[in-house]
Amino acid sequence: MYRQVIAALILLSSQAAAHEMTPTYPKWVPSHMDGVWKTTMEMFNKRSDVEWYEIGVFDENWNPVNFVTSYRLFSMPHLSRVKFDVYIATPDVAVAEYICSKSKLRLISEQKTMVASRVCSRFK
């Protein structure tokens, strides 16, 4: 029976690919709106097997913190570089500890990539 199971069951992708986000230590700065702060992040997608990334802001215990971006989940073509602003309310400035980007994998993917990468910068 077990021989009928696919001989090499794919766990992860076979291609080199990378995911990067900067800066490592972003800062909140006042935005053009009262009571709202913003920070600017930059991402570079060298993962040819991943097209979508998700942004998240977390406190020191990794609980989600409310924030606003143009797109929480956005498309990044391979080898593209994207700058995006993240907005947060003044009370949350002291609470926000991490900002992370995570690759989103397609469940049905011809690429068969199964490594989810997440890069987190920290507010100090």
Partner 1 sequence: MKILIALLAVTPCVVGAVDVPIEGTVQSRCTIDTDTAGVYGNPNAYTLTTAAADGGVQPITRFDVTLADAYYAKVTHPDSFSTAPTANATVTFTGETEVSAVGDAAMSGYEAAKTTFGNSTQFDLTESGSVWLKTSSVATNGGDKAFPSGTYRSIVVAECIAK
By CB under 8 A, name the binding residues for partner 1: 1-2, 4-25, 46-47, 49, 98, 105, 107, 112-122
State which residue, 17 or 36, has the beta carbon closest to partner 1: 17
State which residue, 11 or 29, has the beta carbon closest to partner 1: 11
Task: Indicate the residue type of 96.
Answer: A
User: What is the closest distance, in whole angstroms, from the C-beta atom of residue 76 to partner 1 in the complex?
Assistant: 15
User: What is the closest distance, in whole angstroms, from the C-beta atom of residue 28 to partner 1 in the complex?
Assistant: 15
With beta carbons less than 8 A apart as the criterion, state whether 50 and 70 touch. no
Own/partner contacts of 26-33, CB < 8 Å, gap of 24 or more, are 26/99, 26/121, 26/123, 27/123, 28/88, 28/93, 28/96, 28/123, 31/85, 31/87, 33/87
User: What is the closest distance, in whole angstroms, from the C-beta atom of residue 30 to partner 1 in the complex?
Assistant: 22
| Of 112, 106, 103, residue with least CA distance to 76 | 103
State which residue, 34 or 110, has the beta carbon closest to partner 1: 110
User: What is the closest distance, in whole angstroms, from the C-beta atom of residue 43 to partner 1 in the complex?
Assistant: 11
Helix (H) / strand (E) containing 42: strand 36-45
State which residue, 9 or 34, has the beta carbon closest to partner 1: 9
